[in-house]
């Protein structure tokens, strides 16, 4: 194939055998909107520009040009060239970029390619609901399953943690049925549920994109936007995680990290939120949720979880005000209790280290306090909050990349979309961040809004959280470069990366099919299904070389290549609610603002 392409004189390829050995043309295998920016990246040893063409399915040349050498790229470990074929605006399928005699995977140019991706990215949440059967008429026979953890009642974990600290029992059980399973595991975490739910509700607040009867959820037809129905499934769970009023508990106060020798004091924990509910020990893989018989336990309450609950409940009070005022009022009441509890107990960290669920530990809570206060202000518009927020560092520096442990930016986005005097200051900081991230695109060969060589656990979600802010900056400023950066991010996720794979199941180039997930484990055991379309892999992780990599990545891998499509590699190839939520947000935005 390569040889015959090299022989076509019209294509002017540089056909040195050495170059042909290593050349690869990376492109978004899903494709592009006709008027979208379009880039391909070439991995090649060549240092001089190479000729390229875009050809259609019949081999006809549609556009040609010469690559722009980028040079050696530390993140991917390759010498790279860039191709800009944005001048091609005609729709078509089976298109390929050919450079140096090497063809890219096929892709399409057409409007609204992201529409089904958005639906599927949101379907992720229904698929992962706990406490309800996942119906065949909504997801198909293969992926349907009986309800897991129905009902789910749990009491506090007690006894010795892995550091030898003795945790006291509590005197109650909570009915914590419902919510979404976090990820590949069956844990349900208030901290991570917080950012994921906020992101879906923010998508609703930004675009109101999914009215009633537009998504495959059991509540379709109830007169409420389907996106709100999905988000409510988790909000209801978060509310159930709140400690009953007046509960005295022995907790570790002001001790930020799990350690031996924690000291305990009695606090009034009423109104706080339990950090998580999960299995008493790690469940085997694969395992259908309804077949998980492990005891479920509540982790002790934490200030971080309490503030997550407060922030989302305040957003709930705002968002459901017209759709369901009674629910909005219930949320507002829970938020008031949570805020009082967090003020009473401002430094209770998640330090109970028990196996069976993830830690989601966080030693810094100023961002959680800011987020909750921002939501409080945006919902109540009580001017008493304005001065404190205005002075907070988060309103006086460029926005940071949001994540489950860095939530100030969520508050900033809420303020930036609020009808309050803080709106413009918040917007400025988001645009400042977007500006810096566009600069970063020039500093990394694959042109993503993330320079450098540090790719952490869930790196793909970090990119999408940046893309959300880039999208907002595009909206507020009208500057095309911000939208281009969003497109570049999706291009990378859908195949324009050094692994030549799409990290989104069902879409793009050779998509991920073996996520770390206890039910979608068909790649491991044919009795289980493969993942549905629209699930996002955590992505390259250059920071966990041993744990969670299942030995499948090469030692010393170039950061962007520290990834494998392997069920066992949970540090690289898990899926999670807080990763799919920004995916849903960004692809919906791309589609709806086209
Ligand atoms: O997303 C989390 C990541 O930031 C952490 O580095 C990692 C290790 O603590 O945990 C990730 O969260 C996992 C959670 O603890 C348990 N459910 C699956 C989550 C995704 O891997």
- Which whole number is the average pLDDT over 129-139? 98
Task: Ligand 1 pocket test: pick from 356, 458, 460, 580 the residue with the most ligand atoms within 8 Å of its Cβ.
Answer: 458
Contact indicator for 134, 144 with CB cutoff of 8 Å: yes
Ligand 1 contacts CB of residue 182 (under 6 A): yes
Band of residue 301 on the pLDDT scale cut at 50, 70, 90? very high
Ligand 1 center–CA 426 separation, angstroms: 29
Q: Based on C-alpha coordinates, what's the Rg of the chain?
A: 24
Q: Are 530 and 139 in contact (CB under 8 A)?
A: no
- DSSP readout, 379-438? HH--GGGHHHHHHSGGGSSPPPPPBTTB-HHHHHHHHHTSSSTTHHHHHHHHHHHHHHHH
> Is pLDDT of 554 > 90?
no
142 SS3 class: coil
pLDDT confidence of 337, banded at 50, 70, 90? Answer: very high
Q: Annotated catalytic sites, by residue?
A: 185, 516, 565, 574
Q: Whose CA is nearest to atom 5 of ligand 1?
A: 457
Instruction: Name the average pLDDT for the chain.
Output: 95
14 has pLDDT over 60: no
Q: What domains can you pick out in the chain, each with its CATH number?
A: 148-416 (1.50.10.10)
pLDDT tens string 254-288: 999 999 999 999 999 999 999 999 999 999 999 99
pTM over 0.85: yes
- Tens-place pLDDT, residues 92-107: 999 999 999 999 999 9
Are 199 and 192 in contact by the 8 Å Cβ rule? The answer is no
Q: Return the pLDDT at 19.
A: 37
Query: Does residue 185 line the site of ligand 1, with CB under 6 A?
Result: yes
pLDDT digits (tens, 9 = 90+) for 180-237: 999 999 999 999 999 999 999 999 999 999 999 999 999 999 999 999 999 999 999 9
Question: Would you say how long the chain is, in residues?
Answer: 594
Share of residues in the chain with pLDDT > 90 (%): 94
- Closest residue CA from atom 15 of ligand 1: 358
pLDDT at 444: 98
CA of residue 537 to ligand 1 center, whole Å: 13
H or E segment and range at residue 231:
helix 226-240
Label residue 77 left, alpha or beta by phi (over 0 means left) and psi (-120 to 50 means alpha): left
What pLDDT score was predicted for residue 555? 80
Mean pLDDT of 448-467: 98
The counts of H helices and E strands in the chain are 16, 21
Residue 21's pLDDT is what?
52
Mutate to test the pocket of ligand 1, among 283, 304, 355, 576 (most ligand atoms within 8 A of CB): 576
Percent of the chain beyond pLDDT 70? 96
Ligand 1 atom nearest to CA at 456: 6
576 lines ligand 1 (CB under 6 A): yes
pLDDT tens per residue across span 495-523: 999 999 999 999 999 999 999 999 999 99
């Amino acid at each position: 194939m390569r040889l015959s392409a090299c022989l076509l004189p019209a294509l002017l390829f540089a056909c040195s055998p050495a170059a042909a050995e290593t050349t690869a043309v990376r492109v978004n295998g899903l494709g592009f909107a006709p008027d979208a920016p379009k880039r391909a990246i070439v991995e090649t040893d060549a240092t001089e520009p190479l000729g390229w063409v875009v050809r259609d399915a019949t081999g006809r040349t549609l556009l040609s040009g010469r690559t722009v050498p980028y040079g050696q790229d530390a993140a991917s470990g390759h010498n790279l060239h860039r191709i800009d074929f944005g001048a091609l605006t005609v729709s078509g399928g089976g298109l390929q970029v050919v450079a140096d005699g090497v063809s890219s995977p096929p892709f399409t140019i057409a409007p609204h390619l992201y529409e089904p991706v958005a639906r599927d990215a949101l379907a992720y949440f229904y698929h992962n609901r706990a406490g309800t059967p996942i119906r065949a008429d909504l997801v198909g026979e293969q992926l349907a399953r009986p309800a897991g953890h129905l009902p789910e009642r749990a009491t506090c974990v007690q006894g010795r943690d892995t550091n030898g600290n003795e945790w006291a029992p509590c005197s109650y059980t909570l009915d914590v049925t419902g919510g979404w399973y976090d990820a590949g595991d069956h844990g349900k975490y208030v901290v991570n549920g917080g950012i994921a739910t906020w992101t879906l509700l923010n998508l609703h607040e930004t675009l109101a994109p999914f009215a009633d009867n537009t998504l495959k959820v059991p509540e379709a037809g109830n007169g409420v936007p389907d996106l709100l129905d999905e988000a409510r499934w988790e909000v209801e769970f978060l509310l159930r995680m709140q400690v009953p009023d007046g509960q005295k508990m022995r907790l570790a106060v002001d001790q930020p990290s799990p350690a031996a020798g924690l000291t305990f004091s009695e606090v009034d924990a009423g109104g706080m939120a339990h950090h998580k509910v999960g299995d008493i020990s790690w469940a085997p893989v694969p395992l259908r949720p309804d077949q998980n018989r492990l005891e479920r336990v509540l982790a002790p309450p934490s200030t971080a979880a309490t503030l997550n609950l407060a922030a989302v409940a305040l957003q709930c009070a705002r968002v459901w005000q017209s759709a369901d005022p009674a629910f909005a009022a219930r949320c507002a009441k829970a938020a008031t209790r949570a805020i009082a509890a967090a003020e009473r107990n401002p430094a209770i960290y998640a330090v109970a280290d028990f196996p069976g669920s993830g830690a989601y530990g966080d030693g810094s809570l100023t961002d959680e306090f800011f987020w909750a206060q921002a939501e409080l202000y945006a919902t109540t518009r009580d001017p008493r909050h304005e001065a404190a927020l205005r002075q907070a560092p988060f309103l006086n520096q460029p926005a940071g990349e949001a994540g489950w442990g860095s939530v100030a930016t969520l508050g900033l986005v809420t303020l930036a979309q609020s009808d309050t005097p803080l709106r413009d200051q918040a917007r400025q900081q988001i645009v400042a961040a977007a500006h810096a991230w566009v600069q970063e695109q020039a500093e990394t060969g694959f042109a993503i809004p993330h320079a450098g060589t540090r790719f952490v656990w869930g790196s793909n979600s970090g990119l999408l959280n940046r893309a959300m802010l880039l999208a907002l900056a595009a909206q507020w400023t009208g500057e095309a470069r911000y939208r281009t950066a969003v497109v570049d991010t999706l291009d990378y996720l859908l195949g324009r990366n050094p692994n030549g794979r799409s990290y989104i199941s069902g879409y793009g180039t050779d998509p991920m099919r073996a996520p770390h997930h206890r039910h979608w484990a068909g790649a491991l055991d044919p009795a289980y299904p493969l993942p549905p379309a629209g699930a996002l892999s955590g992505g390259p992780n250059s920071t966990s070389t041993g744990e969670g990599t299942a030995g499948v990545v090469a030692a010393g891998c170039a950061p962007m290549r520290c990834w494998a499509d392997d069920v066992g590699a949970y540090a690289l190839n898990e899926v999670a609610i807080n990763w799919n939520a920004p995916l849903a947000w960004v692809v919906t935005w791309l589609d709806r603002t086209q």
